[in-house]
Amino acid sequence: MHAMQYEFTLPADYGMDVVRTRVARTGHLLDDWPGLGAKAYLMRERGVHGSPVNQYAPFYLWRTVAGMNSFLWDGAFQRPTDDFGRPAVRQWTGRAYEEGGAGDSPARAAVRRRRPLPEGVPLAEAAAEAVRETALLAAGNGVVLAAAVVDTGRWELAHFSLHADEAPDEVDGDGEVFQVLHVSAPERARLRRGRQW
């Protein structure tokens, strides 16, 4: 499993209904994309759930690298690039994935938590802890799915979760809350659960 996200930070007075309309019009285009586990069409709106910015920030869990590369290089990624400019695309390697107890519910919110992996902690220990944390997160009330991913260029661990509620209970200031506008999940059922190595 691989994760990917890019962010388009928009002006403070930007009408976010433009993003909602765009996703309503085009979100279905990835509903059957080969190799895609799940794409959450995410938005943060200035002043909502503590967001300081207006932002469109889709998050992807790829089942295959081929599916990710096809998306980036065969034309689909050109559409948002043409509309908003070419963003930096963050990529993470999968550490763990779990379905939540609300796995059959539509996702209404997403939470992304990021933290550096501390120096001096053995990598195997840090990876095992990420697996445990993902299982605990997935067991939370209203959780649709949870994943742990790592960026080895920055040695940064990220936990990503989808929630059936608009304002998840467990957000405690260290996570960013996004509104979920749509989820494309053609191969979600084929994402391997548990640790990814």
Task: Supply the pLDDT for residue 170.
Answer: 57
Q: Which position has the higher pLDDT, 42 or 168? A: 42
Q: Average pLDDT for residues 97-111, to the nearest whole number?
A: 97
Task: Supply the pLDDT for residue 171.
Answer: 58
Q: How confident is the model at residue 174 (pLDDT cuts 50, 70, 90)?
A: confident
Q: Both tokens of residue 120?
A: 């001096």
The full 3-state SS of 41-102, as one line of letters, equals: EEEECCCCCCCCCEEECCEEEECCHHHHHHHHHCCCCHHHHHHHCCCCEEEEEEEEEEECCC
175 touches 51 (CB < 8 A): no
Which pTM does this prediction carry?
0.95
Task: Supply the pLDDT for residue 149.
Answer: 98
Q: How confident is the model at residue 32 (pLDDT cuts 50, 70, 90)?
A: very high
Task: Supply the pLDDT for residue 168.
Answer: 76
Q: In this model, does residue 172 exceed pLDDT 90?
A: no
